[in-house]
Amino acid sequence: MFLVLVGVAFNVLIGYGPAGLVVAVVVAGAMAFTSYWKSDTIALAMSRAQPADEQTYARLHNLVEGLCIASGLPKPRLYVIADPAPNAFATGRNPNHAAIAVTTGLLETMNRVELEGVLAHELSHIKNYDILVGTLAVTMVGAAALLADVGIRALWFGGGRRGGGNSASGPIVLLALVLIAIAPIAAKALQLAVSRRRESLADMSAVEMTRYPPGLISALEKLRANPAVVQSANRATAHMWIEEPVPHRDDTRSASKWTHLFDTHPPLEERIAALREL
């Protein structure tokens, strides 16, 4: 529905008719599909992840194998990122084409039950098809941003409403312009809200998988206490990590809900508190 409104506003501004709208949406969709199909390759390359040798990282492989047997999931490919900051992420388009990457800092920081909790969280993302959900959200953001960019550029350079065939009145054009201007921001906020929701769901699913809430709770507490930030992380991949890979801020004195509107994750304090209630 949101994209339909943005599409209508786009058409009001440039007057190219349905053909222009279809072309813009198809281009945005093609870009999103390509990113989705190659999501694991792109994410792993951007993070400088290397395959985890089964002998060197035997504990990692054993924990993942045990969790996969218990949850009925195929074993994902495992990777290690040489970085002292403790963190991890899952990627891949479905459970049969998935991968989990962990930092060396995570392996060194976490004990067995804590590491199991983190890995269960990442396997939950795979099991819950969070990559697919995230891709749909990214598609919406990409389409909205593309329509907004084309619409504003066409209007700015005098290319909008060609041929005089568009009879929309001034107030309608103004409303369309406002909608086009705020569309990328609104779409991004919605995408991040979905990301935060999926993170909370993955926490709960991880506890169901391990049947031991203290393991993940202790892991999240260690992540909260560690100020290190993954050097290879960036805004494009921030939503994938178990903890938002940005410098920490004091979440316990939260001013308002607007403070976290553009966060990719719920505050660690909220996630820990929710797990303690189980």
Q: How far apart are the first and last CA of the chain?
A: 36
| Burial grade of 209 (CB within 10 A; 0-12, 13-18, 19 or more) | buried
145 domain residue, yes or no? yes
Please name the amino acid found at residue 127.
K
In degrees, to the nearest 5, what angle opens at C-alpha 69 toward C-alphas 64 and 74? 75
Q: Quote the pLDDT of residue 253.
A: 45
Cβ 241 vs Cβ 233: under 8 Å:
yes
Residue 186 Cα to chain centre, angstroms: 16
23 domain residue, yes or no? yes
Low-confidence ranges of the chain (pLDDT < 50): 162-168, 251-255
- Residue 159: both structure tokens together: 């290319």
DSSP letter at 75? P
Q: Quote the pLDDT of residue 11.
A: 62
DSSP 130-147: HHHHHHHHHHHHHHHHHH
Q: Quote the pLDDT of residue 20.
A: 59
251 domain residue, yes or no? no
235 domain residue, yes or no? yes
250 domain residue, yes or no? no
Site of tokens 């930030």: 229
Euclidean distance between CA atoms 234 and 231, whole angstroms: 8
Q: Quote the pLDDT of residue 185.
A: 74
| Burial grade of 152 (CB within 10 A; 0-12, 13-18, 19 or more) | middle
* Coil, strand or helix at 112: helix
Q: Quote the pLDDT of residue 15.
A: 60
Please name the amino acid found at residue 137.
A
Q: What is the pLDDT of residues 49-75, one digit of tens each?
A: 999 999 999 999 999 999 999 999 999
In the set 122, 199, 243, 244, the catalytic residue is: 122
Reply yes or no on whether 270 is catalytic: no
Cβ 275 vs Cβ 211: under 8 Å:
no
Cα-based distances in Å from 172 to 4, 60, 153: 16, 58, 18
Euclidean distance between CA atoms 219 and 84, whole angstroms: 15
pTM for the structure as a whole: 0.76
* Coil, strand or helix at 160: coil
Please name the amino acid found at residue 15.
G
Number of domains in the chain: 1
Cβ 224 vs Cβ 271: under 8 Å:
no
Domain that holds residue 115: 1-244+256-278
Q: Quote the pLDDT of residue 111.
A: 98
Euclidean distance between CA atoms 270 and 276, whole angstroms: 10
Cα-based distances in Å from 10 to 139, 153, 166, 175, 191: 17, 11, 12, 11, 21
What residues pair up with 81 in beta bridges, in sequence order?
103
| Non-local CB neighbours of 107 within 8 Å, separated by 6+ positions | 57, 59, 60, 80, 115
Euclidean distance between CA atoms 61 and 153, whole angstroms: 51
